[in-house]
Chain A
Amino acid sequence: MYVLEMHDIKKEFPGVRALDRAQLRLRPGTVHALMGENGAGKSTLMKCLFGIYQKDGGEILLDGKPVCFENPRHALDHGVSMVHQELNQVLERSVLDNIWLGRFPKKGMVVDDRKMLRETKAIFEQFKIKINPQQKIGTLSVSERQMIEIVKAVSCNARIIVLDEPTSSLTESEVEHLFTIIRALRAQNVAVIYISHKIDEIFQIADEVTVMRDGHWILTSPISAITRDQLISSMVGRDFSNMFPAKTNVPSDEIVLRVENLSGAYQPTVKDVSFELRKGEILGISGLVGSRRTEMVETIFGYRKIKSGRITIDGAPLVKHTPCESIAHGIGLVTEERRATGIFPLMDIQFNAMIANLRNYVRFGVVDYRKSTKDTAWVIDALAVKTPSQRTSIANLSGGNQQKVILGRWLLISPKVLLLDEPTRGIDVGAKYEIYQLMIDLASKGNAIVFISSEMPELLGVTDRILVMSNGRVAGIVKTRETNQEELLMLAAKYI
Chain B
Amino acid sequence: MVESVVVLGDRKKRISAFLLKNALYLVMFFLLSIIVIVQPSFLSFQNFYFIVTQSSSRIILALGIASIIVLGYTDLSLGRSVGMAAIVASSLLQAVNYSQRVFPDLPRLPIFVPIFAVMILCSIFMVAQALVVSKLKVAPFIASLGFQLIIYGLQSIYIDRLNDSSPIGGLDPAFSNFAQGAIEFSSFRIPYIIIYALVASLIIWFLWNKTKLGRNMYAIGGNIEAATVSGVNVVANILAIYVIAGMMYGFGGALEGARTGSVTNMLGQGYELDAIAACVVGGVSMRGGVGTVPGVVTGVLLFQIINYGLVYIGVNPYVQFIVKGMIIVLAVAIDSQKYVKRR
Contacts and interface: CB of A to CB of B under 8 A. Distances in A.
A303 interface: yes
A72 interface: yes
A110 interface: yes
A89 interface: yes
A104 interface: yes
Interface in A99-143: 101-104, 106, 109-111
Interface stretch (B190-198, B220-228, B303-311): B220-228
B215 A104 contact: yes
B230 A73 contact: yes
Contact of B229 (A73, A109, A111, A303): A73
Contacts of A106: 212
A305 interface: yes
B343 A304 contact: yes
B231 A93 contact: no
Q: Which of B216, B223, B230, B342 has the most CB of A within 10 A?
A: B230
A164 B206 CA distance: 39
A149 to B, nearest CB: 10
Given A73-B231, A304-B343, A305-B342, A90 B223 contact: yes
B223 A89 contact: yes
B290 interface: yes
Q: Which of B215, B228, B289 has the most CB of A within 10 A?
A: B215
Interface residues of A, number: 27
Contacts of B289: 90, 92-93
Contacts of A110: 206, 210-211
Given A90-B218, A106-B212, A111-B210, A101 B343 contact: no
Contact of A111 (B215, B226, B227, B343): B215
Interface string B198-240: 0000000010001110011011001101111111100000000
- How many chain B residues sit at the interface, stated as a range, is 20 to 34
A93 B229 contact: no
A97 to B, nearest CB: 6
Contacts of B211: 109-111
A454 interface: no
A88 B231 contact: no
A298 B215 CA distance: 39
Contacts of A111: 210-212, 215
Interface string A294-311: 000010000111000000
A364 interface: no
Contact of A102 (B206, B223, B231): B231
Contact of B218 (A71, A92, A265): A92
B33 to A, nearest CB: 33
A103 B233 CA distance: 11
B342 A266 contact: yes
What is the predominant secondary structure among interface residues of chain B facing chain A?
helix
A90 B231 contact: no
A76 interface: yes
A91 interface: yes
Nearest to B224: A90
Nearest to B222: A90
Q: Which of A72, A76, A88 has the most CB of B within 10 A?
A: A88
Nearest to B227: A101
A242 B218 CA distance: 54
Interface string A141-170: 000000000000000000000000000000
Contact of A101 (B206, B210, B230): B230
A322 to B, nearest CB: 12
Contacts of B228: 71, 73
Contact of B222 (A77, A91, A265, A298): A91
Given A72-B229, A73-B231, A109-B211, A305 B222 contact: no
Interface in B227-277: 227-232
Interface string A257-301: 000000001100000000000000000000000000000001000
A128 B142 CA distance: 50
A88 to B, nearest CB: 4
Interface in B162-177: none
A102 B230 contact: yes
Contact of B223 (A88, A109, A265, A298): A88
B225 A88 contact: yes
17 contacts: A71-B228, A71-B229, A72-B229, A88-B226, A90-B227, A93-B222, A97-B219, A98-B226, A101-B216, A101-B219, A103-B230, A104-B212, A104-B216, A111-B210, A266-B342, A304-B343, A305-B343
Interface of A: 71-73, 76-77, 88-93, 97-98, 101-104, 106, 109-111, 265-266, 298, 303-305
Given A91-B222, A102-B231, 19 more contacts: A88-B223, A88-B226, A88-B229, A90-B222, A92-B218, A92-B289, A93-B219, A93-B222, A97-B218, A101-B215, A101-B219, A101-B226, A102-B227, A103-B230, A103-B231, A109-B211, A266-B342, A266-B343, A303-B343
The 4 closest A-B pairs by CB, nearest first: A102-B230, A102-B231, A90-B222, A266-B342
